[in-house]
Amino acid sequence: MPRMHSRMELRGTLRLDEPLAWHTSWRVGGPADRYYEPADLEDLAQFMRSLPEDEPVYWIGLGSNLLIRDGGVRGTVLCLSGRLSRLEQTSDGCVRGEAGVACAKLARFCVQHGFSGAEFLAGIPGTVGGALAMNAGASGGETWGIVGAVETMDRHGEIRIRTPSDYRIAYRSVAGPVGEWFVAGRFRLVPGAVAEGKALIKSLLARRGATQPTQQPNAGSVFRNPPGDYAARLIEATGLKGLCDGDACVSDLHANFIINRGQATAAQIERLIALVQQRVLAAQGIKLEPEVRIMGVES
């Protein structure tokens, strides 16, 4: 694992032609031209300042809710998972988590420190950065429902503190200032009993394990729930459980999950997503909108 050293003394790890299948929960995807894991927030800012203005930049965390195409990504991929990992209580009574902190870890931290309201995050298989970017939710809770403020970074490494009023927040959708990425969130919570919080997290995880294919490579929910209905119900009602394209299959356990049975390609997964959309539209008259983000070029 070569370390990057330059006159700017970057402390992170740079790799060229890095296979992104290693960094996504579907275990598919081609290589990134450049792949960087920052040492910390300061190092990330330094790295951003070192990039050419026209360099395409993509940010990933745990690689869930993400389909990287087989041709890979032209440009630079920044992976924050486990790197931007600071988690702390702030002086104003918030919990601050950097973008690389796993949602489940944030949920446990909040409970252990006597806060309630973040337990639902235990059921989200992503990081704080990804949860902020898409307003991730589970078990009736949504990320931006507990956000007090966020910290963002632009291409010049400048950090800004913004509030929810700077964004248009909707179901699985966040729109705000262009050219800024989330690097931390500050969460406002209410006091809660530690034992009750731990019990709630345990029950949420047990339900997730019983109803979702957590033991097989997947990216979480593939489609957004349409208003007043559930994508899984529509897919199942159309008879699509078990439908496959190669090793990419609609889960028999939860119809809104597509699993990789072992050797699936990104192209097979993408075709299966489109096929499910077509068949549900034809049978139910509803066009399902993907929740999964698709990145990269076809091979």
Cα 130 to Cα 15, 81, 135, 181, distances in angstroms: 22, 10, 8, 10
Distant-in-sequence, close-in-space partners of 22: CB < 8 Å, separation ≥ 6: none
Catalytic residue among 119, 151, 180, 291: 291
Give the separation between CA 246 and CA 224, rounded to whole angstroms: 24
Report CA 73 to chain centroid distance, whole Å.
17
Q: Annotated catalytic, 98?
A: no
Active site residue 53: no
One of 11, 155, 172, 208 is an active-site residue; which one? 172
3-class SS shares of the chain: helix, strand, coil, % to 5 = 30, 30, 45
Both tokens of residue 213?
Answer: 């294919």
User: For tokens 């190092």, what's the residue?
Assistant: 43
Read out DSSP for 236-247?
Answer: HHTT-TT-EETT
Backbone angles phi, psi at 240, to 5 degrees: -100, 0
Amino acid at 165: S
Rounded-to-integer distance, Cα 24 and Cα 240, Å: 25
Structure tokens at 230: 């559930």
271 is catalytic: no
Distances, alpha carbon 229 to alpha carbons 140, 233, 280, 284, 286, in Å: 14, 8, 13, 12, 10
CB 268 within 8 A of CB 39: no
Residues marked as catalytic: 172, 221, 291
